[in-house]
Structure 1
Amino acid sequence: MTANIGSTARPSHVPVERVVNFDVYDLPGSAEDVQLAYRAFQQSAPAVFWTPHNGGHWVATRAEHIEAIQKDTATFSHQRITLPRLPDAVPRQIPLELDPPEHAPYRRPLMQALLPRVVNAMEAAVRARAVELIEPLVAQGRCEFIDEFAAIFPVSVFLELVNIPQSDRGMLREMAERSVRASDNAVRMSSFEDLGAYLAPIVSARREAPGNDLLSTIVNAEIGGEKIAFDKAISFSMLVMFGGLDTVASMLGFIARFLATHDGVRRQIAARLDDAAFLRHATEELLRRHGVANTARVLTRDVELDGAVLKAGEMILPPNMLVGLDERKVSDPTTVDLSRPFPIHHATFGNGVHTCPGAVLARREIQVFLEEWLRRIPDFRIRAGTRPVMATGMVNGVLKLELEWEAAA
């Protein structure tokens, strides 16, 4: 612990003992287990600390503080959610970088488009897509899980939802990667510009001739009795695209990696694939252990937290995953316990007014993956001689995961 690490000078109100060498894009131990790399700071650092990396910002590590931050939008604003902080001249990401009450009219059409009854109606198509991708892999006896499944299954479901050509999947995924895992604002901005240029003619066409897809719904939303402005429709579309292109793919990568290295848990799930209630419970427990998304906040006023004085205008990162990994809230949190009492305490999808609107669909996709993959490939492992490649950032992810199993005759 030192006061001169990183590139940003320690503010005078930050005590030396609150300074910790934490870089959200380069965490020690993340090559072995990303979530445990975050938890190491929860175990060893002050409950609230300051880091000079990525422009200098605070980090909250205890579930109690993280949940309070997530719910108190008046003090901890969403006006900027990425690290390092984007310049003020950059348009906000709608609706995630809006606070109540401004954000509600933008969020409403997205929530209505992803209600449980809507996801229920989608399930047959989601399941068919999973089976279509898994079946050819069975006889191979191996696969690169990210490229051959995780980056295709939820992304293809999402592209169908927004009526975007499946042939554009690779290009759009590359843009999403730059957006959520680049530590350089210039790289992140290039992804925004590229996606904005891609979406502009599509958004224009959907505003002139709306379809029944999700993109048509959000780019024609009524805000304050008037049709959403074109620039805001582009911003809204970009945020939805980035979320749909990466988050569930990242979750699937972490879950598959865990199951490949934990035979007991994998076999427990494989033995109860016809038990829907058990599968929902198993999905929730795997989500608790493998959170992926991070969103920072901006302080709107001076506030004291855990004895630290945070100043208006400063940023703080409350890592969602640490809620479910805090032993003050969850007993034996590093263990995946399929008999853990319900409800399972976590904040993988956030809390409060900004809880992820795609959570219902994400849960369903993960459950479908468990059912259809384990029905066909119940025993698999990390391919001998390989190691998973993982990355941290605003969305943590598995970039490469080689799996192998006994090929079916």
Structure 2
Amino acid sequence: MYETKLAHVHATTPPIFWCPNIYPGGTGAWVVRRSEYLKEVYADDDLFTKKGFSGFAQFIGEDWSLVPTELTGEPHAQVRRTLNPVFAPAKMFSLDDMVRNRARSLIATFKDRGHCDFVSEFAVPFPVTIFLDLFGLDQSQIPQFLSWEHDLLHTTDMNARIKATHEVKKYLLDAIQARRENPKDDLITYALDYEFDGKPWTNEMVYGYCFNLFVGGLDTVTANIGLHLYHLAAHAEQQAELRADPAKLTLAIEELLRAYGAVTTYRTVTREVDFHGVKMLPGDKVAMSTSLAARDPEAWDHPDEIRFDRKPSHLTFGSSSHRCLGMHLARRELLIAMQEMLASLPAFELDKSQPVPFWMGSIIQVRKLPLVWQV
């Protein structure tokens, strides 16, 4: 159980410690495990910059930014003012029918079978189908997108990462050019009308925005859905509680987001600083683990207990000015997925004859989730 590993880290390490191989590419970074300290890192965009944190541009010898994620200061603020209304709660609510139809179509393929691998049959394809819809792309692209997602985010093979970055860049630039020639009702076309400093976004900005949504909108949703369904499959009493009162789902998901924080992002220190007794130097990387913050015993009373009435103010979507742009869409996807699974299937549980493997990387995931139920 990975929560046991997180508890061990909290019990045996200082609030900030050096890990020699945590940063992508196998180099070191400072790990901030305390939730309150992590909030300070999020809030100080000048000292702890997000510029270039993903490394994708650097992998291929370039210097573009994920938009808005890797922008800082006023450019970031200006772009967020443009994009926040696009991803506002009301806009995301308007997508419910589309999201629900995608969920139902995937569940229909296994609900009468009595068993499934929830990860490969739902958690992985679900956000990809929605991404393709929002970008006006053909659903036949799912296998290619999943291959790129794996090579960008789930391998230590740097050659594979570099190759995937080149291929995704070419694909997205081609899609952007296609929208310039033949506009559609989709997120790529909308971005062609956005302005920065009174001028249309450059092709590089539009591309950086599309790449950002690609890497941010697929894997993190997959991770969270898998972890949440893993919890309900392993805790029959809490699954029964939500079946008896579906109105509890909204708060339950917030607690599951808190308890199963899945993502570690990174910042770069811009100047020498003594940060809570730790000397950090310019260029040092800082690993910001929402997984550790989620189980911080100094932030949460009995952090390993899942309480659907806790109403947590968690860091799963980040904090401060860089709070996740797509969090409202992610919440709708998580809620609808849970609603449809509970409505479509009888009580499900883990298939005890099969293991549940976890991927312990920058995005913690259940790699396979074998579920069974009576039909």
Q: TM-score range by the shorter chain?
A: over 0.9
> What does the per-residue CA deviation read over 1:92-144, in whole Å, with 9 as the maximum and x for residues that have no partner?
32221111211123334432222111111111221222122223422100011
Matching residue's letter, 1:99: T
Is 1:207–1:220's contact at 8 Å kept on the other side of the alignment? no
- The partner residue of 2:199 within 226, 229, 248 is 226
Q: Is the 8 A contact 1:61 1:319 kept in 2?
A: yes
**Cα displacement (A) at 1:73:** 0.5
For the pair 1:187 / 2:160, whether they are aligned, the reply is yes
Q: Per the alignment, do residues 85 and 294 of structure 1 end up closer, same or farther by CA in structure 2, a change over 3 Å counting?
A: farther
Matches within 5 A, 1:95-114: 95-114=68-87
**2:321 counterpart residue number:** 353
Residues 111/255 of structure 1: CA separation in 2 closer, same or farther (3 Å cut): same
Verify the 8 A CA contact 1:290 1:321 in the aligned structure 2. yes
Mapped to 2, the partners of 1:185 and 1:95 lie a distance apart of 25
Over 3 Å counting, the alpha-carbon distance change for 1:63 and 1:99 in structure 2 is same
The letter for the 1-side match of 2:308 is: L
Could you say which residue in structure 2 is the equivalent of 1:367?
A: 335
Aligned counterpart in structure 2 of residue 64 of structure 1, from 36, 39, 42: 36
* 1:321 alignment partner in structure 2: 291
From the superposition, tell whether residues 141 and 374 of structure 1 become closer, same or farther in structure 2 (CA, over 3 Å). same
Alignment TM-score, normalising by the size of structure 1: 0.85
Letter in 2 for 1:374: L
Corresponding residue pairs, total = 370
C-alpha change, 1:215 and 1:43, in structure 2 (3 Å) is farther
- Does residue 390 (structure 1) correspond to residue 332 (structure 2)? The answer is no
SS of the aligned residue for 1:56 comes to strand
Runs of 5+ unmatched residues, structure 2: none
How far apart in 2 are the matches of 1:255 and 1:73?
A: 31
Equivalences for residues 82-93 of structure 1 within 5 A: 82=54, 86=58, 89-93=62-66
Are 1:156 and 2:129 matched, yes or no?
yes
Tell me how far apart the structure 2 counterparts of residues 71 and 90 of structure 1 sit (CA, whole Å). Answer: 24
For 2:275, the equivalent position in structure 1 comes to 305
**How far apart are residue 184 of structure 1 and its match?**
4.2
Query: Which has the higher mean CA deviation after the structures are superposed, 357-366 or 372-381?
Result: 372-381
1:52 corresponds to which residue?
Answer: 20
Taking the aligned partners of 1:219 and 1:85, their CA distance within structure 2 comes to 22
Closer, same or farther: CA 167–350 of 1 in aligned 2, 3 Å = same
| Distance (whole Å) between structure 1 residues aligned to residue 350 and residue 328 of structure 2 | 29
Whole-Å Cα distance in 2 between the matches of residues 92 and 129 of structure 1?
31
Q: What is aligned with 2:50?
A: 78
Structure 1 letter corresponding to 2:45: T
Superposition deviation, residue 78 in structure 1: 0.2
1:130 to 1:84, Cα distance in 2 relative to 1, 3 A: closer
Secondary structure of the residue aligned to 1:395 is coil
1:127-206 equivalences under 5 Å are 127-206=100-179
CA distance in structure 2 between the aligned counterparts of 1:377 and 1:43, rounded to whole angstroms: 39
Instruction: Give the alignment partner of residue 181 of structure 2, picking from 208, 211, 214.
Output: 208
Does 159-168 or 128-137 show the bigger shift?
128-137
After TM superposition, list the pairs within 5 Å mapping 1:326-345 onto structure 2.
326-340=296-310, 342=311, 344-345=312-313
**Relative to structure 1, is the Cα distance of residues 327 and 85 closer, same or farther in structure 2, using a 3 angstrom cutoff?**
farther
- Which of 190-199 and 70-79 deviates more? 190-199
Q: Output one character per residue of 1:343-374: Cα deviation in whole Å (capped at 9) or x when no partner.
A: x1210000011111111111111111221111
Q: CA deviation at 1:173?
A: 1.7
The letter for the 2-side match of 1:75 is L
Structure 2 vs 1, CA of residues 85 and 310 (structure 1 numbering), >3 Å: closer, same or farther?
farther
Alignment deviations for residues 264-298 of structure 1 (CA, whole Å, 9 cap, x no partner): 1111111112x2xx221111011111112221000
* Change in CA separation of 1:83 and 1:268 when aligned onto 2, cut-off 3 Å: farther
Q: Could you say if the C-alpha distance between residues 215 and 37 of structure 1 is closer, same or farther in structure 2, counting changes exceeding 3 Å?
A: farther
* Aligned counterparts of 2:27 and 2:57: Cα–Cα separation in 1: 7
Contact 2:263/2:362 (<8 A) preserved: yes
Contact 1:67 1:323 in 2 (8 A): no
Is 1:283 matched with 2:256?
no
Deviations 1:172-213 (A, max 9, x none): 122112212233443322221110111121111213333221
Call closer, same or farther: CA 1:131–1:264 in 2, change over 3 Å.
same
Note if contact 1:270-1:378 (Cα within 8 Å) is conserved in structure 2.
no
Residues 131-161 of structure 1: CA deviation (Å, up to 9, x unaligned)? 2222342210001111211112222122111
Worse-superposed segment, 188-197 or 280-289: 188-197
Alpha-carbon separation, structure 1, partners of 2:127 and 2:192: 22
Give the whole-Å Cα distance in 2 for the aligned partners of 1:307 and 1:49: 11
Amino acid across the alignment from 2:339 = E
Cα distance in 1 for partners of 2:52, 2:5 equals 25
SS at 1:191 equivalent: helix
1:14 match? none
